[in-house]
Chains A and B, each alone.
Chain A
Amino acid sequence: MATEVGPTSVKAPASGGAPIHHAPKGVGEDNRIATQGRWAAWLLAPTIVALSVVIVYPIITAIVMSFQKDAGVDASGFFVEGGPAGFSNYVNWIFQQCPAPGGGTVDCPPGTLGAQFWSATGTTFFFTIVTVTLETVLGFWMAVIMARAFRGRSLVRAAVLVPWAIPTAVTAKLWLFIFAFEGIGNKLFNTSVLWTGSEWPARWAVIIADVWKTTPFMALLILAGLQMIPAEVYEAAKVDGASAWQRFRMITLPLVKPALMVAILFRTLDALRMFDLPYILTGGANNTTTLSILVINQIRQGFNAAAALSTITFIIIFLVAFIFVRFLGANVVEQQTGAGKGKK
């Protein structure tokens, strides 16, 4: 937990920073530091402007929009602007309250998007947990194989990347053909499963396609972590008589953990936004509607409620990322310094 972050950040001022700052008390030195600071700020400014334009601005706009009502049709049949909405868009999603014909709200009837919010949230987390678990296990296994030296290793590494290189929409189409009723999936196993037409098969169809596609990504990230472990460590362990399992548990796992946590974090955030696969495979039918699909469907019906929903989605993903970084020690930024220190 905190031990990962602690040493590096606490050490920094004590070891490196402090002496240089305060030892030479010359006026010129002070000035130079000030100039450097100003320079740094100006050099950073373009990046900050760019980030503001592409990140801060859309987020603020989305939040502003989410407090506006969607346009509705007036008596003459034309759309008029909705005006301020307060929290009604958020209430629509979280408490599943939809506008009632006579004014006020009712429980969202099945068939409205509002009625699908919690099931979509559940589906999204279900997919995330199952796919990331499977991908981590399979990815680890693939990485361990690829890390060994054998003939044709580079070929295997390249081949493994193929599913990852195919655009997701194309992957989804491929699997749609495989999972069709007359498709090769049913032919091969001589079954007649309605893969995209019933609840559990539809879910497994999405999971299988996703695992097929993104395991290579996991494998490569983990492979990068494995290769940073020096061979001498293993040799030493062997000399000391550690079994293969012990070497894996006591050396590989702890040393690969930083890379592994980053890989899991990336995949989790990615999976929480899953859209193309279920959208193309099932159209969101049979309980495969994820939050992203719900957002896209809502955009067609009204931007402002969609803005509220994407803000909610943003907060959910943000919280998950926060939990990862804060409590599970996924350390994206300082990973390199940490690893470097570990080597020394």
Chain B
Amino acid sequence: MLKRWLPAMAVLTALLPMSVLAMTGEEVMKKAQAAFLYPGKDFKARVTMKLIAKDGGERVRELVMLRKNFGAPGGEQKYFMVFFKPADVKDMSFMTYKYPAKDDDRWMFIPAVNMVKRIAAQDKRSSFVGSDFTYEDVSGRDIEDDSHAIEREEKVGGRDCYVVKSTPKAGDADFGHKLTWVDKASFLPLREDQFDRKGAAYKLFTADEVAVVKTHPTVIRRTMKNQQTGHRTEAVYANSDYEVGIEDSLFSERFLRQPPRKWLD
């Protein structure tokens, strides 16, 4: 019985890449999440964001970003950020406890009034530091919030990709659906097309430069462009590094007020 089918199956497998048969859209996105947001035990980078208006006007955001995993990919994470630029926000610091399927906890230290304030995180789709990236674009969106389907396969910059269509299950997102081009080899998202709820092109994410850091392929340059306003944000992750030994105790109000020097270079 099986033998009769074997030649046909051999032809099929030769024609189609193995992985299509093996993976669903959701699995691709899970792997992408792990590769993009969860590699290593911890991660550190000096992030410079250029917020560029349509007419070329530029603003700069510069910060150190520290991230530590507290579980498997898709699980809990903590982020710690300290700002350098613009000048008047120097020494402001920001901390997020990120939980799967639950609102984040966020705190901010405001040096001018020497105050740590907890910030309600009701909208993960709001802008991160005034850039075109949302909080979710920076730290990830729950896989379960969307339904995912592989639309097709396509090359991006010479690399084979899955094109996954993700549609939010609830109507709370600012986008109606998005297409993600996930690199078959590294599982990094190389491009993401967000469409608004009316189906018009909305935001476009591109991974502009990928480098291997301590065995982890890492997107060290990325752009998010709002195609409706023409505004875009270019982010460079300099000095990216993994396994740097971030202590659990860093993620506290005490260090938010007084971040340890060693993490600030």
Q: Do A and B bind each other?
A: no
Contact surface of B with A, Cβ cutoff 8 Å: none
Contact surface of A with B, Cβ cutoff 8 Å: none
